[in-house]
C-alpha cells in the first residue's frame, strides 16, 4: 500500500538499534509513511535497507532541525541506557518536540512491565525512566505514550531468527548450552511479547502483551517443542537475589547489580503488564493485530528469516 505523497506522514525513530529494525520494517511494509532514523553514528543495516539516516548528537537544536526539515509528525525513541545519558537524550527529544513546528507526539523508550503497580522496577529505571516520566507529566505541549510489554519474546528462538541480541546472564535461558537458571521458584507470572508485534502496536497505547506464564511453563513449552529434550536447570533463590541486591549495590562495574535488578523484576510479577488493561486495549485498539504466543513464534521461526 503506497500512500499519495501529499498524504504521507513522516515518522522519526531515535536509536538505530535492534528493536528499531522491527518498527522500520513494519512501517516500510505499510507503505504510508516516510521514515527518518536518528543515530549518533552510521548504522549499516539501516543504510543498506534504504533508511534516511540522520546523524545527531542528541542536542535539542540537532533533533529539532531533523524533525522540522523532514516534517516528522511523531518521534519514537528506542534509546535504552541505564546512565544519565538516557535522561539527557530524552529531555532533549522532548524539548525538540516542544519547539518543533511539526512534531508534537513522542513515544519515549520504556518497554517495561506493570509500571502502575511497580513503577520503580527494574531498579535501574529509578534514576532514568522514573525521573523522565515526571518530566513528561509536568508538561502538556507534547502528546506522549509509554509502551510497556514485559519481556521481549524473541529470546525464545535462536539468535539468527531475531534482530535482538542474546542477553547472557540476564535472560534465564541459554539455548546454546541448553541450560536454564530459573529466578525464584519459577512459578511467578511473567509477561512476554514479540518484538515485531510491539512494532505493529506502537502507534497506539500503553500496555501490550502476547502471553503471560511462568518460567517453568515456558521451559516446558521449549522442551516439548524440541522433542522432549530436558534443560539442565538450576535456580536462583529469592534469598540469593535479595542478597545480590545488597552485596552489589556499590560495585564499580554494575553488571551484577543490573542482573539482580532483572531477577527481582522476574520474581515480583513486575514484568507482567496488567492483563485486564491489556485485554481492554486489545479490544478497543488492536482488533486487527494478532499478538503471538511462545508457541506461535517457535512455529514462525521454522519458516521466517526473522520472526
Closest C-alpha to 135, from 68, 195, 178, 87: 87
pLDDT at residue number 4: 53
Q: What backbone torsions phi and psi does residue 26 show, to the nearest 5 degrees?
A: -70, -40
pLDDT at residue number 34: 95
Residue 286, C-alpha cell as written in the block: 488492536
Helix/strand/coil for 258 = helix
pLDDT tens digits, one per residue of 276-287: 989 988 888 788
Cβ of 260: how many Cβ atoms within 10 Å? 24
pLDDT > 80? residue 256: yes
Please write down the HEC assignment for all residues of 167-226.
CECCECEECCCCEEEEECCCCCEEEEECHHHHHHHCCCCCECCCEEEEHHHHHHHHHHHC
Rg (C-alpha) for the chain, rounded Å, is 20
- Mean pLDDT estimate for the chain: 93
pLDDT > 70? residue 203: no
pLDDT at residue number 283: 87
pLDDT > 90? residue 70: yes
Cβ of 99: how many Cβ atoms within 10 Å? 16
Cβ contact 29:91 at 8 Å = no
Closest C-alpha to 126, from 249, 209, 243, 238: 249
pLDDT at residue number 205: 43
- Separation of alpha carbons 145 and 91, rounded Å: 15
pLDDT above 90 covers a percentage of the chain that reads 88
Q: Per-residue pLDDT averaged across 139-166, rounded?
A: 95
Confidence of residue 135 (pLDDT cuts 50, 70, 90): very high
Q: What backbone torsions phi and psi does residue 151 show, to the nearest 5 degrees?
A: -75, 150
- Separation of alpha carbons 292 and 180, rounded Å: 23
- Separation of alpha carbons 307 and 296, rounded Å: 10
pLDDT at residue number 289: 82
pLDDT > 50? residue 269: yes
pLDDT > 90? residue 5: no
pLDDT tens digits, one per residue of 81-112: 999 999 999 999 999 999 999 999 999 999 99
Amino acid at each position: 500500500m503506497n500512500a499519495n505523497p501529499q498524504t504521507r506522514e513522516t515518522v522519526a525513530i531515535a536509536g538505530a538499534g535492534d528493536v528499531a529494525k522491527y518498527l522500520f520494517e513494519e512501517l516500510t511494509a505499510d507503505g504510508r509513511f516516510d521514515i527518518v532514523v536518528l543515530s549518533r553514528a552510521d548504522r549499516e543495516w539501516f543504510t543498506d535497507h534504504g533508511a534516511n539516516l540522520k546523524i545527531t548528537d542528541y542536542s535539542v537544536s540537532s533533533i529539532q532541525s531533523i524533525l522540522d526539515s523532514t516534517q516528522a509528525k511523531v518521534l519514537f525513541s528506542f534509546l535504552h541506557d541505564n546512565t544519565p545519558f538516557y535522561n539527557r537524550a530524552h529531555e532533549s527529544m522532548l524539548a525538540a518536540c516542544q519547539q518543533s513546528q511539526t512534531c508534537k507526539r513522542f513515544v519515549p523508550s520504556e518497554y517495561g512491565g506493570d509500571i502502575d503497580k511497580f513503577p520503580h522496577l527494574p531498579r535501574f529505571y529509578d534514576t532514568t525512566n522514573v525521573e523522565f516520566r515526571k518530566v513528561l507529566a509536568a508538561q502538556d505541549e507534547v502528546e506522549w505514550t509509554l509502551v510497556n510489554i514485559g519481556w521481549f519474546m524473541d529470546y525464545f528462538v535462536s539468535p539468527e531468527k531475531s534482530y535482538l541480541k542474546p542477553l547472557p546472564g540476564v535472560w534465564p535461558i541459554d539455548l546454546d548450552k541448553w541450560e536454564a537458571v530459573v529466578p525464584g521458584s519459577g512459578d511467578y507470572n511473567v509477561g512476554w511479547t514479540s518484538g515485531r508485534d510491539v512494532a505493529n502496536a506502537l502507534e497506539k497505547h500503553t500496555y501490550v502483551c502476547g502471553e503471560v506464564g511462568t518460567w517453568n511453563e515456558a521451559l516446558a513449552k521449549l522442551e516439548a517443542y524440541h522433542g522432549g529434550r530436558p534443560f539442565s536447570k538450576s535456580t536462583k533463590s529469592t534469598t540469593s537475589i535479595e542478597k545480590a541486591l545488597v552485596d552489589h549495590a556499590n560495585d564499580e562495574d554494575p553488571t551484577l547489580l543490573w542482573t539482580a535488578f532483572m531477577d527481582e523484576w522476574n520474581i515480583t510479577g513486575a514484568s507482567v503488564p496488567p492483563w485486564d488493561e491489556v485485554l481492554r486495549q486489545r479490544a478497543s485498539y488492536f482488533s486487527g493485530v494478532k499478538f503471538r504466543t511462545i508457541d506461535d513464534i517457535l512455529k514462525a521461526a521454522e519458516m521466517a528469516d526473522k520472526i
